[in-house]
Every structure is written in C-alpha cells, then in structure tokens.
Chains A and B, each alone.
Chain A
Amino acid sequence: MIAGPLVLVAAIALATAGVEDALAMPLRHLYVAPAAWAALRSGSSAAGLVGLMAGFCQGLQAFPMIERGGLTPPTLDALVSLMAPLVVGIALGRLVDQARERGGRLDALLEIQRALGGEEPLEVRLERAVTLIRAALRAEHAGLVLQADDGTLAVVGSKVSGAFRKDSAAGRVLAAGATILVGDLDADPRLRSKTPRWPTPSRGLVLPLDTGSGRVGVLAIERSGDLGPAARRSVRELSLHLALAVENARLLLQERRFAQELEDKVDQATRRLREIDRAKSEFLSVVSHELRTPLTALQGFSELLLERVVPPDRARRYLGHVRTETQRLGRIVTDLLDLSRIEAGRPLELRPERVDLAASPSLYRGPGGRRAGRGVRRSRRSGSHAQA
C-alpha cells in the first residue's frame, strides 16, 4: 500500500544525492509529497512510516552539514524540512483516519438501523445488529443487552456461552449506568482473572445505551489490542446512535403493534356490523312473513265473501277470522312501533291490561320457567282464572 510513496522517496533521494549544496535545493521540499500521498491513501501509520523514511534520507545530507557548519539558519531550515514530511504526513493521516472512521461509523449506523427496523423476528434483527457492531468496532466479540419497559431483557451477543448474569459487568452498567473499561480481560481482579495468557491484551468496554430519557440497554465489546481514548470515543458515539436506533426500533414496533390492534378492532367492528345487518335482514324477513300470514288470511276470506255466495253462518265465521287476523296484524304493527321507539330511545307507552295467566303460562313463568320479574302482580280471584 505504501510501495508507491516509498519509491517516490527513493527517487527524490537519488535525485538529490551527490548535489553539493543540497540545503539550498528546493527539490528537498518534494519529500512532503510522498508523505501526503501515503496519508491520503493509507492514513497516519503509513504516512508516519513514509515521513520517517523521508527524514532518514534527508538526514544523510543534513547531518553532515550541521556537523560542518553548526546550527545556522540554512541548517535549521534543513532540519525543518527534515521533520516536515513526518509532521505533515501524520497530521494529514490523522485527518484522513478520522474522516474514514466517521464515514465507516455512519455507514455502520445506517446498516444497524436498517437491520433493527427489518421485518424479521426481533432476535434475528438483534443478531444482525450485533454482527454489524462487531465489524464496525473491529471487535472480537460484541454483546447487546436490551431492557424493555416492563424490565424483561433481550441478550444478544457473539460467544455468549453462559447465561447473562445481573452481577456481570454488563449487568452492573445496566443497573448503575456507569461505563466500565477492562484493561485486560485475562488479568483483571474485578473479573477474578489474574494470569495473562495471550501476547495481545484483550480489552473490554461496557457502555450504557442512553437515549437521554433513560437507559434502553448496554453495549459490551471485547477487542484485542488497543482501545485508546479515540477508539473509546468512537464506541461512545456509536453507542449513542445505537441507543437512538434501538429506541426508534422500539417505537416502530410499538407503532406496528398499535396499528395491528387498530386493525383488529376495525375488523371486529366490521364483523359486528355485518352481524347486525344480517340480523336486521333476518328480522325483516320474519316481519314480512308475520305480516303476510294475516294479510293472506284477510285476502282469502275477503275474496271468498266477495266472489261467492256464502251462507250467513259461514259468512259470520269468515268475518270472525277476518277480525282475528286484523287484530293480529294490529298487534304486529304495534310491536314494530314499540321496537322502533326502543331503538330511537323514546319511552314506551305502557298500557295496563288484564291478562289471563292460565291462558298464557309463559308470561307468568317467563322463558325457561323462571318467575316473572318486577311489575307483574299476581292476584287470584274466585273461579278458575288467575289474573295479573
């Protein structure tokens, strides 16, 4: 990755080699170019290395001149140009590193948000988010503990071999909210581990996922090598965004649940309306049938009386039928009017009436054989008729 800049350093060194008055030569300022190239291409580490090589190359010319002439303005200028590639390279490289890191973090956040807001089950989405976090932070392991409003926990992480413990580092951060940094997971007395094992220390960092209005969980990472202030700052920033992403996912979930509930209610109401509609249709069909029966009788008897010669006693009996059916029709119409009154919420017109209980035992006993309710007074008069 730095072969190109190194070749350029070598080329500049060859071009300036053997020149007597190298200090006065503007060509030496070109050493900044490969350092800047390395910085833009590969960041601060590569730029530092190229800058160091440029310094070494310039030193072979500058040191003898300093030895010969002492610290004069030209030799001081040579010292400055000796240091310039290193300083410029590292400074520019740091900026490039930071910009790339931020870009990478934003990309990771977008991916995490996308993963959390997916359609799959929550466990699958959290697993994917943890994988993305692990990759974004270049960590060996990452774990996420999310706490719901009712206190239930969702624990997702790579290599979570045992059960989550409330007295673990993550559990303590979840309870207290303070960040925990472990310098070496193999040799930290707080984790009851005393003997380091591996040449590269394994760092641990547990951060609360705080949205500003409360903790939604914790993020834990385990990473080999350095986890310096810049890296920790980066993790902290990511955890802030992650907390918001989790909160957004939670709100989205809530919204979906509300939408589902609303849909269920609308479905239920629609079903009920359909049932009512069907009941009304049935009712109308029954009413039509009930109206048609006396009307048919009325029509039949009236046609008989009009079109045939009927003996008087039979005509009288027919007229009796006509009266009975007319009364029946009247009762049906009265009942319909009462029903419409009930539906409209208007009071019923009650008419006290004498009823022969013996003739209508169901009125006294009520349906299913129960006693009639309030307002039905029973009295027994002489004779065989019971009246209410």
Chain B
Amino acid sequence: MRLLTAPFDPSARVPSALVRPLLEVALIAAGSIDLLLTADTLAGEWRGLGRAAASGGSHAAMIAAGWVIALGGAPRWRMPAAASAAALIVASVAARLAPAGAVLYFLVPLVLARQAGSTRLDTRWIGWARPQTSRQVVLGVAVGGFLGLHLLLAASLTLGYTASVLSLGGYLAGVAYDVGANALSVGWLFHGALFSALWRRWTFWPAAAIATGAGLLRYLVDPTFPTAPEAAAGAVFYLTILGLASCALRAWSGSVLPGYLATLAFFAAYRALHV
C-alpha cells in the first residue's frame, strides 16, 4: 500500500506540460487548415481537394491533441501524431477523388494502433486497450444501435424524414469516414484522452460532462451539422446521450472500443436518414 509505505511530499507540484504542445497542435492545425481552405478557393481543379485535406487535418489535429494528452506532453507525441495526420489527410483526399478511396480510412485506426504498439507508448491509461470481456463490445454496439434506431424512428415520425440507403457506395464511404475519422477522433480524444485525464482528477460525472460537452462542441462547429432548429435539437439530444454512454462504457470496460463501436453504430443509422 503506497499510502503507508511510499514517501509523500504534500508540497510537491508538477507544472502541467500540456499547454505548450496543445497550443502547438492548435497553431499547426489552424495554419494548415487555413492554408488548405485558401488553396481550395484558388484553383478550380483543386477545389474540393483542399477542403477534403482540411477536413482530414482537423481530425488529425484532434488525434494529435489526444497523443499530447496521452503522453503527458512529452515531445514523443510528434511522430505518431504526424503518422496519423498523414494517413487521415491521404484518406480524406483519396475519398474526395473517388468514393472507393474512402477505403483508405480503414487504415487510420491501424496506423494509430501500430504507432501506439510499435513505439511502446503506454496508451492503456486512456483506454487504448482491449475491453475486459466481449460482452462489453456487444453492449457498445447495442447502445449505439439502439440510439441510432430510435433516431430513425423519431426523425421519421416527428420530422417525416425517410430512412433509406440511396447509394450503397456513398453510404459505405460515409461509414468508412466514421471508422477512420469521425468516430475515431471523437473516441480517441474526447472519450479516451480527455475523459481519462479528467477522470483522474475528478469523479465520473464531471469528467463525463466536460468530455461530452467538448465532443458536442466539435459537432456544433462541424459544417455538416444540421441547421434546422428541430434537427439540431435532436442532434444535440442524441449526441449528448451518445457521449455520456461512451464515457460510461469507457469507464466500465477500461477501453474506448465499446464507445467507439457505439458511435459507429449510431452514425451508421444516422447516415441512412434523409430529408
């Protein structure tokens, strides 16, 4: 028992090493995204590609922020963050060039896993680990599936939306985007690194509320977020519950995987919704 046998210095304080690298990530991301968006407006043939790269860059920034938190601000975050960013931007551009290019999104989680594994960086504490039982994985899928199904029913009953897959290719490209960018960056940063770091300081509910709030903010600034008030209110409702459920799953299972799968299942349903 460390409380009985380890020396304890009440005055010891370690200054947070996160501020500087997080600012670094924000500046690099903001500059890059701004540059890419500018490039998007300049040349006609580049139109869309810059926007796609900027989208990949924004997700890469979230992944990089997750690395910074996971490694406690140690300088080692740059290499894995750069590798993830490269994979994301390439996948994003490839998906823009051809719907089949979206398959590259499936490489992003693999790159992330490889970086975490090969560099022997201990990312277990943020939940980058296997869940304890397979039941937790099933529950994650069930939670996301239930929320997605409820969304489909509520939206169709309330707003008259239809649930259908108009184009299988487009639908699968959307799912691939969720797998490699949307759900991954949210799961890695908000339900993984941020929630874990906050949970170490406080209890579950404040940590989950802040992580969910931050995740919600990420969707609110997303250009693809619904603009109609009733649809936006619905999105906020479902994303809040999904965020809290993901944090609960992360805390319960010790892994971000069930929450990640819940997010994937929810968005898989969401992508079948049409006005």
Chain A interface (Cβ within 8 Å of chain B)?
A: 52, 56, 59-60, 63-64, 66-67, 141, 143, 145, 155, 157-165, 167-172, 180, 182-187, 189-201, 204, 206, 220, 222, 225-229
Among the 9-residue stretches B34-42, B75-83, B123-131, B168-176, the one with 4 or more Cβ atoms under 8 Å from chain A is B123-131
Instruction: Report yes or no: B129 in contact with A222, Cβ–Cβ below 8 A.
Output: no
Instruction: Report yes or no: B8 in contact with A169, Cβ–Cβ below 8 A.
Output: yes
A86 CB to nearest chain B CB (Å): 12
Instruction: Report yes or no: A67 in contact with B4, Cβ–Cβ below 8 A.
Output: no
Interface residue count on the B side (C-beta < 8 Å): 40
Interface string of B1-17 (1 = CB under 8 A from A): 11111111110111000
Interface residue B24 (Cβ < 8 Å from any Cβ of A): no
B123 CB to nearest chain A CB (Å): 10
Interface residue B196 (Cβ < 8 Å from any Cβ of A): yes
Interface residue B166 (Cβ < 8 Å from any Cβ of A): no
Interface string of B44-72 (1 = CB under 8 A from A): 00000000000000000000000000001
Within 8 A of A (CB), among B162-216: 196, 199-205
Q: What is the bound-complex CA distance between A199 and B253, given in angstroms?
A: 9
30 contacts between A and B (CB under 8 A): A56-B150, A64-B158, A67-B158, A141-B1, A160-B4, A163-B5, A165-B4, A167-B8, A168-B2, A169-B4, A169-B8, A170-B3, A171-B4, A183-B201, A186-B125, A189-B12, A190-B12, A191-B2, A193-B2, A194-B72, A195-B72, A197-B122, A197-B125, A199-B124, A199-B254, A200-B254, A201-B200, A222-B2, A226-B203, A227-B203
A39 CB to nearest chain B CB (Å): 18
Q: Is the interface of B mostly helix, strand, loop or mixed?
A: helix
A203 CB to nearest chain B CB (Å): 9
Q: What is the bound-complex CA distance between A141 and B196, given in angstroms?
A: 22
Q: Which 8 A-B pairs have the closest CB atoms?
A: A199-B254, A162-B5, A196-B125, A228-B203, A189-B14, A169-B8, A220-B3, A184-B200
Q: Which of B2, B129, B196, B251 has the most CB of A within 10 A?
A: B2
Contacts A191-B8, A199-B196; is A59 near B1 (CB within 8 Å)? no
Contacts of B2 in A (CB 8 A): 168-169, 185, 191, 193, 204, 222
Interface residue B157 (Cβ < 8 Å from any Cβ of A): yes
Contacts of A63 in B (CB 8 A): 154, 157-158
Interface residue B255 (Cβ < 8 Å from any Cβ of A): yes
Contacts of B254 in A (CB 8 A): 198-200
Contacts of B10 in A (CB 8 A): 172, 180, 190
Contacts A200-B254, A222-B1; is A67 near B14 (CB within 8 Å)? no
Instruction: Report yes or no: B1 in contact with A182, Cβ–Cβ below 8 A.
Output: no
Instruction: Report yes or no: B7 in contact with A198, Cβ–Cβ below 8 A.
Output: no
Residue of A nearest to B159 (CB): A67
Residue of B nearest to A187 (CB): B200
Chain B interface (Cβ within 8 Å of chain A)?
A: 1-10, 12-14, 72, 122, 124-127, 129, 150, 153-154, 157-159, 196, 199-205, 230, 241, 250-251, 254-255
Determine which of B3, B14, B124 lies in contact with A206 in the assembled complex, contact meaning CB atoms within 8 Å: B3
Instruction: Report yes or no: B6 in contact with A168, Cβ–Cβ below 8 A.
Output: yes
Instruction: Report yes or no: B5 in contact with A164, Cβ–Cβ below 8 A.
Output: yes
Determine which of B8, B12, B14, B203 lies in contact with A180 in the assembled complex, contact meaning CB atoms within 8 Å: B8
Contacts A167-B8, A195-B122, A199-B127; is A204 near B157 (CB within 8 Å)? no
A sample of 11 more A-B contacts (CB under 8 A), given A143-B3, A201-B199, is A60-B153, A164-B4, A169-B6, A171-B4, A194-B72, A196-B200, A199-B125, A206-B3, A220-B1, A222-B1, A225-B204
Q: What is the bound-complex CA distance between A43 and B10, given in angstroms?
A: 38
A197 CB to nearest chain B CB (Å): 6
Determine which of B8, B201, B251 lies in contact with A172 in the assembled complex, contact meaning CB atoms within 8 Å: B8
Instruction: Report yes or no: B203 in contact with A60, Cβ–Cβ below 8 A.
Output: no
Instruction: Report yes or no: B3 in contact with A182, Cβ–Cβ below 8 A.
Output: yes
Instruction: Report yes or no: A167 in contact with B4, Cβ–Cβ below 8 A.
Output: no
